[in-house]
Amino acid sequence: MAMAHLISSPNISSFSNGPNLRGKKLSFNSIYCESYGGSKASKHNIKAQIQYNPLRFQLSSFNHHYKSIQHCAVKAVTVPSTESESEASNSNNIVDSVKNLIAVLYQFIYPYALYGQATATIAASLTAVEKLSDISPLVFIGLLQAVLPHSFMVLYANGVNQVFDFEIDKINKPYLPLAAGKLSFRTCAFIVALSAILGLGFNLMIGSPPLIWNFVLCVALWTCYSVNLPFLRWKQYPVMASLLIFVCGTFINPIAYFLHMQTFVLKRPLVFTRSFIVFLLFMSFYSPGIALAKDIPDVEGDIKHGVDSFAARLGHKNVFWICVFLFEMAFGVAFVAGASSSSPFWIKIVTCLGNVVLGSILWYQTKYVDVTNPASTRSFYSLNWKLMMASYVLLPLIR
């Protein structure tokens, strides 16, 4: 197939002069045809087209030139305004800032602790429900009354601990918002104070004595646990720290939420149900296990800043296996209670099989834990919160 190249020369200067083509004689000598396997006939055809229809050839060139100018003009006119660009940029920046703030606050509250405490509150409250006929909108309102203020208490406990562990968290938990510089010290202190005020305010509005006393007592204990003042900062004493977590998780919180549901919501006299007793027995093993496991990833920073935890004193490996033993004992207690309960047979199967599965998952995962690796032990700690939340679904079923 022939390919022709048009090469400009003085004889074809009229091509670039727009419409000033009339009266010009177009010479074929200014057009060179290079063909690859072409014939003389192709040259003759080109010459004939130019000689016998010069006007068509000239107009097509002019139209092409005009369209190019028009295309450029359209492009120049349709440039977006600077104001619209700045407005769009500002709106995008606002959305991104809000998203980043939510992500930072989500990290600040320790999500696994918030979810775990919320499910513990619901489970302890539901142990006061003796029959299916007890479940009513009033019960759901009572659950909301318990969960909402308790969430502010969890936020306070986690926040005040981060504020006074700022230097330690630079080593142990550099990903936390305060240690990473994503939140200022003043902002964190404001969040902590606001959470205490809102939590107490909600409890006073609800008017449940068990909830009020539980909030005041727990806020006071967690302040003593974290605040670096004389005779306080109990977390640096391993026995005091473990005892505080054990007492709060096993007795103070569960008893308060059980009393709230039974005496304040359902208006019944105080009688401890079998489900609630099993709940306390389960937590008497699981809660100290959580208290010990949380310090395993933090040994390096604790030693450097004088926090004498059990993990720092006894070693990673010993404390790790003590935790595994306590967790497995908790699942064993729930299994025995489920097997010996007066619940229907299918509930016995669910509770027994469920606790066997949870205990098996825990035992299986121990093979993959490197007790000297903070990331590995922190993942193990998070896993045990998830297993505990799953067990909270099963415990209220035991009757």
Q: What is the mean pLDDT of residues 317-340?
A: 95
pLDDT of residue 86: 66
* Lowest-confidence pick of 37-41, 321-325, 372-376, 392-396: 37-41
* Lowest-confidence pick of 137-146, 155-164, 300-309: 300-309
Highest mean pLDDT among 63-67, 148-152, 309-313: 148-152
Q: What is the mean pLDDT of residues 10-31?
A: 40
Residues 72-107 pLDDT 10s: 444 444 445 566 666 666 667 787 777 777 888 888
Class of domain 109-272: mainly alpha
Q: How confident is the model at residue 58 (pLDDT cuts 50, 70, 90)?
A: very low
pLDDT of residue 298: 84
Q: Provide the mean pLDDT of the chain.
A: 80
Q: What is the mean pLDDT of residues 154-178?
A: 88
pLDDT of residue 46: 44
277-399 maps to which CATH number?
Answer: 1.20.120.1780
Residues 179-190 pLDDT 10s: 888 888 898 999
Domain segments of the chain as ranges: 3-77, 109-272, 277-399
Question: Residue 208, Cβ neighbours under 10 Å: how many?
Answer: 24
pLDDT of residue 14: 38
Q: What b/e string do you get for 141-154 counting C-beta neighbours within 10 Å, with b at 16 or more?
A: ebbebbbbbbbbbb
The CA distances from residue 268 to 135, 143, 258, 398, in Å, are 14, 16, 11, 20
